[in-house]
């Protein structure tokens, strides 16, 4: 059964509607009721009540009317009375578009395409419920070339949508293995550190706006060398907790023997966690800043202020340590798996989740150096905070200068890339997450011997 359709946008408070313009043209094989001629059953004239009523009406009418009706019989036009639309809600700021769907409309009131679930009426004469179907017709089978093209497009889009991180490729001489061969366990010469004017002239200096969504510097084989995460990666609450907990730790503890000026620059450093110098000790140990003046297992005492202060700082920043571990697990799963398998001896523990130790630098401005104690194929993580300006990180072999404002987090190959930071105006603090290469070798030896 076919049916006529009325679908139009009617404005509110309109007194008269032009119905002939609203209605769609009716099929030639159907009358106004929408019933096809094929469905009409022929009956005799004597049994057709409508016809008999029309004849009686014509006999009682005037001669002129009878003459006109004898020539042509016109069926009286049906009278349609559309219901008034409901009152407009008070929160509407504009007149909505009202859709009147008598049987089957191409769109409903939400603008979605409506397709009838069945083209025939039910036995009770009620039009069945309309179902919403997205798409048109039968799904076409895609060719292998089309599938491959869509797969490549999705892969490219997924790579580009990784927080819209900017990716920069370095020259061939600065690839990962070349940097490993050139390191050779030696610190870079002092002339590697350029003056700020020379850096701005000869290096590529990224702007803060360029790296606000992140930055990855990789070699020709897509191996990441430097990874600066988007500037809003670390929540402000965790950074506030870090600054407050370090201030409490620094004010409550003094280190007369360990509060020294570092040879890599004029700043103070605290190393907390598990460390190993294979030439001096038989196995890894907890650092002196963590133990205080005590040695052996006797430092874990309630009257040891160094141990208590370090434990308070560690407990306050557990969420930050977990966030750093999750970032590595998501972005560098292979490195995360290897680091997580590194063991420490009994009586020791990893201080910062995945990493065995951290170095907290106070009022830091470093000279050019490499972290030769770190694992060469590994990474170190750096976070900074404080009220300062400047302090951009310079990577000599990559000839790049990267902004590093307060609250940022960066990962890079600290053992094979020479790095330092530009002059700082203000108070700058930083925390470095690291695992000693000697600790990794000791852990491997224990695994093989066990």
What pLDDT, on the 0 to 100 scale, is given for residue 142?
A: 78
* pTM exceeding 0.85: no
The average pLDDT across 27-37 equals 47
Q: How confident is the model at residue 139 (pLDDT cuts 50, 70, 90)?
A: low
Tens digits of residue pLDDT in 376-431? 888 999 999 999 999 999 999 999 999 999 999 999 999 999 999 999 999 999 99
| Encoded tokens for 92 | 């509407």
Sign of CA dihedral 338, 340, 346, 351: positive
Tens digits of residue pLDDT in 403-415? 999 999 999 999 9
User: How far is CA 252 from its chain centroid?
Assistant: 40
Lowest mean pLDDT among 203-207, 218-222, 320-324: 218-222
Residue 107 has pLDDT above 50, yes or no: no
| Encoded tokens for 196 | 């700020």
Tens digits of residue pLDDT in 194-206? 999 999 999 999 9
What pLDDT, on the 0 to 100 scale, is given for residue 176?
A: 84
What pLDDT, on the 0 to 100 scale, is given for residue 302?
A: 82
User: How far is CA 283 from its chain centroid?
Assistant: 43
Calpha distance 192→402 (Å, rounded)? 17
Tens digits of residue pLDDT in 273-291? 998 887 777 889 888 888 8
Residue 35 has pLDDT above 50, yes or no: no
Cα-based distances in Å from 346 to 230, 286, 359, 436: 38, 11, 22, 17
The average pLDDT across 137-166 equals 71
The average pLDDT across 162-175 equals 74
**pLDDT cut 90: percent of the chain above it:** 36
Tens digits of residue pLDDT in 336-373? 999 999 999 988 899 999 999 999 988 878 889 999 88
Bridge partners of 419, per DSSP, are 369, 395
| Encoded tokens for 111 | 């603008």
Residue 113 has pLDDT above 70, yes or no: no
What pLDDT, on the 0 to 100 scale, is given for residue 5?
A: 41
> What integer best gives the mean pLDDT of the chain?
75
What pLDDT, on the 0 to 100 scale, is given for residue 411?
A: 95
What pLDDT, on the 0 to 100 scale, is given for residue 346?
A: 87
Cα-based distances in Å from 430 to 167, 204, 252, 363, 386: 25, 24, 19, 8, 9
Measure the N-to-C terminal CA separation of the chain; round to a whole number of Å: 82
Between CA 54 and CA 62, with CA 57 as vertex, the angle to 5 degrees is: 130
| Encoded tokens for 217 | 């510097």
What pLDDT, on the 0 to 100 scale, is given for residue 413?
A: 93
* All domains in the chain, ordered by first residue: 1-139 (no CATH), 166-449 (3.60.130.30)
Question: Among 154-158, 169-173, 353-357, 369-373, which range has the highest average pLDDT?
Answer: 353-357
What pLDDT, on the 0 to 100 scale, is given for residue 132?
A: 42
């Amino acid at each position: 059964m076919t049916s006529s359709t009325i679908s139009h946008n009617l404005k509110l408070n309109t007194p008269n509607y032009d119905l002939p313009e609203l209605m769609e043209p009716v099929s030639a094989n159907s009358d106004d009721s929408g019933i096809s001629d094929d469905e009409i059953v022929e009956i005799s004239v004597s049994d057709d009540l409508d016809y008999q009523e029309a004849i009686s009406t014509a006999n009682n009418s005037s001669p002129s009317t009878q003459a006109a009706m004898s020539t042509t019989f016109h069926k009286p036009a049906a009278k349609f009375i559309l219901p008034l639309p409901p009152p407009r809600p008070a929160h509407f700021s504009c007149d909505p578009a009202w859709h009147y769907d008598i049987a089957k409309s191409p769109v409903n009131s939400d603008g979605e395409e409506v397709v009838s679930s069945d083209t025939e009426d039910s036995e009770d004469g009620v039009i069945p419920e309309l179902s919403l179907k997205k798409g048109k017709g039968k799904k076409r089978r895609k060719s292998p070339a089309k599938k491959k093209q869509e797969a490549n497009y999705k892969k490219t889009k997924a790579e580009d949508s990784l927080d819209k991180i900017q990716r920069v490729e370095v020259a061939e001489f600065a690839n990962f293995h070349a940097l490993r061969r050139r390191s050779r366990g030696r610190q870079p010469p002092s002339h590697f550190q350029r003056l700020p004017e020379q850096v701005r002239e000869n290096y590529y200096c990224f702007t803060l706006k360029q790296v606000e969504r992140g930055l990855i510097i990789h070699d020709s084989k897509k191996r990441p060398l430097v990874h600066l995460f988007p500037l809003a990666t670390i929540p402000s609450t965790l950074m506030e907790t870090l600054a407050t907990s370090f201030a409490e730790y620094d004010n409550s503890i003094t280190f007369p023997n360990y509060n020294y000026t570092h040879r890599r620059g004029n700043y103070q450093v605290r190393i907390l966690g598990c460390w190993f110098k294979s030439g001096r000790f038989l196995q890894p140990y907890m650092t002196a800043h963590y133990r205080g003046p005590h040695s052996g297992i006797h430092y874990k005492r309630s009257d040891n202020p160094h141990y208590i202060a370090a434990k308070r700082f560690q407990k306050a920043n557990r969420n930050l340590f977990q966030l750093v571990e999750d970032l590595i697990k998501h972005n560098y799963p292979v490195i995360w798996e290897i680091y997580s398998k590194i063991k420490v001896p009994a009586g020791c523990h990893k201080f910062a989740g995945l990493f065995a130790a951290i170095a907290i630098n106070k009022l830091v401005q470093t000279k050019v150096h490499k972290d030769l104690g770190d694992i060469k194929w590994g990474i170190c993580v750096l976070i900074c905070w404080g009220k300062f300006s400047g302090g951009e990180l310079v990577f000599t072999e990559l000839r790049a200068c990267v902004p590093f404002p307060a609250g940022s987090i960066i990962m890079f190959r600290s053992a094979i890339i020479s790095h330092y930071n530009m002059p700082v105006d203000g108070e700058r603090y930083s925390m470095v997450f690291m695992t000693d290469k000697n600790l990794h070798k000791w852990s491997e030896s224990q695994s093989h011997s066990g």
